[in-house]
Structure 1
Amino acid sequence: MKKQYVTYCRVSTREQSLGLDAQMRDIEHYLASHDHEVLGHFSDKQSGADDDRPEFQKALRLVRKTGAELLVSKLDRLSRDLAMIAKLMKEKDVAFRIASMPGADSMMIGIYAVLAQKEREMISERTKSALAAAKRRGTKLGGYREGALEKANALRTKVADKQAEKFAKIIMPLKQQGMTLTGIAERLNEMGIVTVRGGAWEAKAVSRVLDRLSGAMIRTLVPSL
């Protein structure tokens, strides 16, 4: 019996339509390895923070009516709201599948959702703090000030350290289990976790994260570095 799916894509108002093409490639790649029937396809051009997206709601209604699985490319295409994802996971009439995380169970999806939301909150807090501090100093945003390059480099280092710490929550337990760098990279890709630049993981990328974690520890002990 063919597995029934309702597919859904989403791009924000700031994203290009090419984003829809990339999502469809992920979905089609997943479907190619399954005996399937697509009951409907829906897409929105709207923020993932808004769960009242019209096409998204249509997709959910069709899923509830037919018992089909909702298939999306990546978890954030479904929603950027952790509470919304948790609600869908608990709903008996709604089952969803992440094309880029074909082997992910509910626990993996939950962990990834928590990490993704935490990262968004940290970015928002850093941005607000930086703007507030600049305003207090009387800095003209967008203008050049002496030492601006050094400050920008320091900020990038701090942000990169924070990103490495986020990935460490998954990478370090795998490393402690004796997995190779290549094995860790493959596991991250299976979970649908992308690198900072949005790409796939390789052994070198995992190694860079581990190196940055070591560097961050040194910078904590010796702040002048």
Structure 2
Amino acid sequence: MRRYVLYRRVSSQEQGKSGLGLEAQERDIQLFLDNYADTPYLVVGDFVETHTGSDNDRPQLQAAIALAKKEDAVLVVSKLDRLSRRVSFLAALMEEKGLTFKVAQMPYADAFQLHIYAALAEQEKCFIASRTKAALQAAKARGVRLGAPTYCVKALAAAKKQKALEDAKKVEGVIVPLRKSGASLRTICGVLNASGARTSRGNDFNPQLVSQMLMRLEAVA
């Protein structure tokens, strides 16, 4: 009988965000168990943790990993970033002897695919930080008085347009090849969301947004 250990995680900032709550993760994991788990199966542990994904020192995760190895069980998470947002940490887990894990939203993903998705999630995190810093520096160089209520309409519109283009470039390496290969907008959204990537507002990608991103990238090509 195949054994499974379940792990769910939220950070304090993510508690109320759509798609990241504990109930949503529980739903995704249950769908995996109902449709993709070896049968019969047995859940031997269920761990929940409130902790940031950038910190790998998480007691509940370590307990879940230890139990999975002890029981020769498969560790199951809803999304890849519930394990970690760091490629190095995920790569180490993939190579850890005696440990097997599955991502509920990507039931057929192999180690290579999971590594690519992890790199995408980490790149997004780094990009957000560098983009914010660059945008402030560029605005200051143009003479924009940061924090002042003047320069409203034109400056904000230009900044919004530039930000939208940069958001599109952030996932260009994923959405453009998929679209060229004939993937639907909904399929592209599924790949992005399953990887743990988020929009600049912290939401899931949707077909309308991906379509707009593709048009923006095409306009500057």
Letter in 2 for 1:166: K
Moved over 6 A (4+): 133-138
**For structure 2, which runs of at least 5 residues remain unmatched after alignment?**
none
Report SS of the residue matched to 1:97.
Answer: strand
Instruction: Output the TM-score relative to the length of structure 2.
Output: 0.81
Q: 1:92-129 CA deviation, whole Å, 9 max, x = no partner? A: 22211111111222222111111111111111112234
Measured in 2, the distance between the counterparts of 1:190 and 1:5 equals: 25
1:161 partnered with 2:165: yes
Report SS of the residue matched to 1:8.
Answer: strand
Residues paired across the two proteins, number: 210
Measured in 1, the distance between the counterparts of 2:139 and 2:158 equals: 15
Cα gap change, 1:16/1:167 in structure 2, threshold over 3 Å: closer, same or farther? same
Query: Aligned-pair distance for 1:49?
Result: 0.8
Conserved 8 A contact 1:7-1:41:
yes
Identity of aligned residues (%): 37
Structure 1 stretch 9-18 or stretch 187-196: which is displaced more? Answer: 187-196
Matches within 5 A, 1:1-225: 1=1, 3-16=2-15, 19-33=21-35, 34=37, 35=39, 36-131=41-136, 139=145, 141=147, 143-144=148-149, 146-177=150-181, 179-181=182-184, 185-186=186-187, 188-189=189-190, 192-193=194-195, 196=199, 198-199=203-204, 201-202=206-207, 204-217=208-221
Cα gap change, 1:152/1:90 in structure 2, threshold over 3 Å: closer, same or farther? farther
Higher relative contact order (CA 8 A, sep 6+): 2
Letter in 2 for 1:26: D
Letter in 2 for 1:11: V
Instruction: Output the TM-score relative to the length of structure 1.
Output: 0.80
Report SS of the residue matched to 2:171.
Answer: helix
Q: 1:62-113 CA deviation, whole Å, 9 max, x = no partner? A: 1121221111111111111111011111112221111111122222211111
Conserved 8 A contact 2:144-2:151:
no
